[in-house]
């Protein structure tokens, strides 16, 4: 049962433009959401996170938006750079004290290619 879904397997964007990655989830008990970036032959690298008490979190070029009523989150990268070309994973976990705390559930990933 896939509780975190990334429906776009790939995204191509021009350098300098905005990249928007989407993620949907089905478990209403999820309380904390994270985005990871993964290069080939490396482990996932943490990018940015957001808790359910917020609807937006920014860190430099990266902004994550959370819409709890729609069970949807998105990652915006502005401006996109060639070094951003990687696979991006959305992940979610439950609140402290719940069964799903600490068990990160991942989407299948979106391959981003930034072209010059």
Residues found near other proteins in the complex (CB under 8 A)? 4, 6, 32, 34, 36, 41-46, 49, 51, 89, 91, 93, 95-96, 101-109
Locate 18 and state its tokens: 């905005």
- CA dist list (Å): 81 to 16, 20, 39: 6, 13, 14
- What does R_g of the chain's alpha carbons equal in angstroms? 14
Locate 86 and state its tokens: 């990687």
- Minimum CB distance to other proteins, residue 35 (Å): 12
Between 16 and 46, CB nearer to other proteins:
46
Between 79 and 100, CB nearer to other proteins:
100
- Minimum CB distance to other proteins, residue 103 (Å): 5
Sign of the dihedral defined by the CA atoms of residues 65, 7, 44, 111, in that order: negative
Between 21 and 109, CB nearer to other proteins:
109
- Minimum CB distance to other proteins, residue 82 (Å): 22
Alpha-carbon distance of 34 to 105, in angstroms, equals: 10
Between 9 and 16, CB nearer to other proteins:
9
Looking at the DSSP bridge assignments, the partners of residue 110 are 88
- Minimum CB distance to other proteins, residue 66 (Å): 14
């Amino acid at each position: 049962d896939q509780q975190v879904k990334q429906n776009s397997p790939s995204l191509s964007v021009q350098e300098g433009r905005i990249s928007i990655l989407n993620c949907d989830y089905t478990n209403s008990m999820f309380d904390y959401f994270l985005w990871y970036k993964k290069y080939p032959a490396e482990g996932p690298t943490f990018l940015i996170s957001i808790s359910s008490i917020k609807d937006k979190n920014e860190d430099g070029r990266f902004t994550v938006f959370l819409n709890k009523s729609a069970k949807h989150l998105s990652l915006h990268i502005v401006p996109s750079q060639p070094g951003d070309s990687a696979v991006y994973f959305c992940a979610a976990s439950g609140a402290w004290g719940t069964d799903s705390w600490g068990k990160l559930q991942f989407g299948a990933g979106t391959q981003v290619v930034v072209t010059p």
